[in-house]
Structure 1
Amino acid sequence: MRSYSYYVLDVFSGVRYKGNPLAVVLTGSDLDIKSYADIAREFGYSETSFIYYSPEEKALKVRSFTPTGFEVGGAGHNLLGAVAAAILIGWDIFAGQQGGKFVIMKDDIIGLSVDQSIPGAPIIGMRQNTARILAKVSNEDVARALSLKTQQVLSEDLSPAVVSTEATHLMVPLKDIAALGAAVVEKKLLIKIAEQYGFEGFYCFTIVKNDPQYLAQARFFNPGIGIDEDPATGSAAGPLAGYLLQKGYVKPETDYRLLQGAEMGRPSVIHFNAGDEGIWISGSAVIVMEGKIHI
């Protein structure tokens, strides 16, 4: 029997029992795929991250899996929570690095920024590539997949679009908060559309009017990989930031905040800043539990 220490963090929140829960397992080295999948299924969170520090590569190594055994990449809550866990338990994960802070997510090098001014809740920034708009999807198809009326899905300057940074998701602009709250996923239809257009999940959002805190509010659905709904999705917030920049809804190199997870009772705050050189997604994370897992 092998035993590994783990921590559970609430990610994209500076408050416990909010945000997106993530298990982070300290492995010491790479595991076999079956072990990754078994542990992720046992925790049952939308994603579980596995970390160790590689002295040879002078970097924290991270891999993440869903409960269905699907490996997740990109700069999302799975990476933010993994980095926060390493920092909070005292690992010096940036020693010897040249040209800025970074981690290795599977095989990809991802740039980071770290602010530890708030004890116990570091603010981690993760760099994503500039966004690419790949395709449009019809309002009628999107509305059916979300059990909404066609007129609740916007169709003019903002309309359903497949957008990619490291991850590829469908950006779904909705009319208002009421439409966002009314969305109910028809799983088979959503999966069919995602397979047809080559994206992962639906990132539904609405621009919030007259709110000094948030530019937008969002929900994320990705049942194709076992995520019925996610409280916070950094890998989708990046494409949204890039999409809104290209459509003129945000200013370049300017900080904005996005609220996700409110409908689930787990409000999550995602900060984003988009520019010509890339997109930064950032937020806090706090440890809520720790223990040992045996395989």
Structure 2
Amino acid sequence: MSRDVPFVLVDVFADEPLSGNPLALVPDAEGLPVSTMRAIAREFNQSETTFLVRPTVRDALWRLRSFTPIGAEVLGAGHNAMGAWIWLAATDRLPVGETDFRQQIGDDVLPVRVLRNDGSPAVVSMEQSRPEFGATVSDSGELVAALGLVDSDMVAGEVAQTVSTGASHLLVPLRGRDAVDRARPDSARLLPALHAADAEGCYVYSLDPIAADVGSVAYARFFNPTVGISEDPATGTAAGPLVASLVAAGKVADRASVVVEQGYALGRPSKLAVTVAGEHVLLSGSGLVVAEGVLHLAE
């Protein structure tokens, strides 16, 4: 006996197919054991695979469970949640216009807003948690070496800092796009540096984006060996903390809607829109459903 389980691939934070951050999504995952979800995530080998199931709390419309290829469950709301709501809108499961919903991720119920117009991809916006500014790396030598860079690649007078808007990531300021692109992290060396900073992933960035003239403020790459992600093309749980830190430092105006560029080094350009207003961090993006199929699983 076998069970047929449909799946789709969604390119998130993408303007066109085969760009952005690909998400494997299993829309009808109710009844799948967690062990099977983890096995499916290994099969797809995407940075995250998301499963839509019934919520266990009254206020949420859907519960989202997301796993990395090594089976780690992701409890932040980034491209994993974006892709699910993009699919729901693209398949006419959401009303036309701008509508607020609630989603369950882990034990949290988080708001999500979907703007759906006929003939164009939906825009999904999610408020992240209040920014929390954590540990700084006072001695950057080992961190820089773990990234395959040299001391002069760091911005003089600045330090790497762990910041969270739902997931804690170490933000590393580099002097230019060339330094960001040259990063070649050694996971075995980067892991201890992340643990010491109480961070999950590492977001290297520079403030010389490609499209500064149309609202981009940073150019970034994301490495997360703690959950088995060598590099992620677009990371909403890191872009939010980055813009929050730039606002706190006075480098981005409060309430400004700005874009973080990511994924270019992987050939998957991604644009993550973030607005920070005081303690409120709003992540927005769009995307496309690019493939669909069926898994044939043993009962």
> Normalized against structure 2, the TM-score is what?
0.91
* In 1, Cα distance between equivalents of 2:131 and 2:60: 29
**2:132 corresponds to:** 132
State whether structure 2 residue 295 is matched by structure 1 residue 289. Answer: no
**1:199 corresponds to:** 199
| Cα distance change, pair 88–221 in 1 and its aligned pair in 2 (3 A) | same
Alignment partner of 1:80 out of 63, 79, 82:
82
1:106-146 Cα deviation digits (max 9, x unpaired) = 32111112222363521111111221111111321221111
* In 2, Cα distance between equivalents of 1:93 and 1:227: 35
| Cα distance change, pair 177–92 in 1 and its aligned pair in 2 (3 A) | closer
1:127-185 Cα deviation digits (max 9, x unpaired) = 112211111113212211111111211242x4200111110000000001111111110
Q: Which moved more, 1:176-185 or 1:54-63?
A: 54-63
Amino acid at match of 2:279: E
The Cα of 1:232 is off from its aligned counterpart by 0.3
* 8 Å contact kept, 1:80–1:124: yes
* In 2, Cα distance between equivalents of 1:246 and 1:79: 26
Q: How does 1:64-79 map to 2 (within 5 A)?
A: 64-79=66-81
> Which consecutive unaligned segments of at least 5 residues does structure 2 have?
none
**1:143 corresponds to:** 144
* 8 Å contact kept, 1:130–1:242: no
* In 2, Cα distance between equivalents of 1:30 and 1:249: 48
Alignment partner of 2:253 out of 242, 251, 262:
251
Give % identity: 33
* In 2, Cα distance between equivalents of 1:250 and 1:119: 33
Amino acid at match of 2:198: G
Q: Secondary structure at the match of 1:208?
A: coil
Q: How does 1:16-165 map to 2 (within 5 A)?
A: 16-54=17-55, 57-92=59-94, 100-117=100-117, 119-137=119-137, 138-156=139-157, 158-165=158-165
1:208-241 Cα deviation digits (max 9, x unpaired) = 1682131110000012211101100001111111
Q: How does 1:268-283 map to 2 (within 5 A)?
A: 268-283=270-285
* 8 Å contact kept, 2:258–2:274: yes
* 8 Å contact kept, 2:60–2:109: no
Q: Secondary structure at the match of 1:67?
A: coil
* 8 Å contact kept, 1:60–1:93: no
| Cα distance change, pair 151–12 in 1 and its aligned pair in 2 (3 A) | same
* In 2, Cα distance between equivalents of 1:119 and 1:231: 26
* 8 Å contact kept, 1:139–1:155: no
The Cα of 1:3 is off from its aligned counterpart by 1.8
| Cα distance change, pair 7–174 in 1 and its aligned pair in 2 (3 A) | same
* In 1, Cα distance between equivalents of 2:117 and 2:208: 29
* In 2, Cα distance between equivalents of 1:258 and 1:197: 23
| Cα distance change, pair 248–30 in 1 and its aligned pair in 2 (3 A) | farther
* In 2, Cα distance between equivalents of 1:56 and 1:111: 14
* 8 Å contact kept, 1:154–1:160: no
**2:185 corresponds to:** 185
How big is the alpha-carbon RMSD for the aligned residues of Structure 1 and Structure 2?
Answer: 2.0
* In 1, Cα distance between equivalents of 2:228 and 2:111: 28
* In 2, Cα distance between equivalents of 1:162 and 1:57: 31
**After the TM superposition, which parts of structure 1 deviate over 3 Å for at least 4 consecutive aligned residues?**
52-58
**2:168 corresponds to:** 168
**1:260 corresponds to:** 262
* 8 Å contact kept, 1:205–1:217: yes
* In 2, Cα distance between equivalents of 1:119 and 1:280: 25
Q: Secondary structure at the match of 2:234?
A: coil
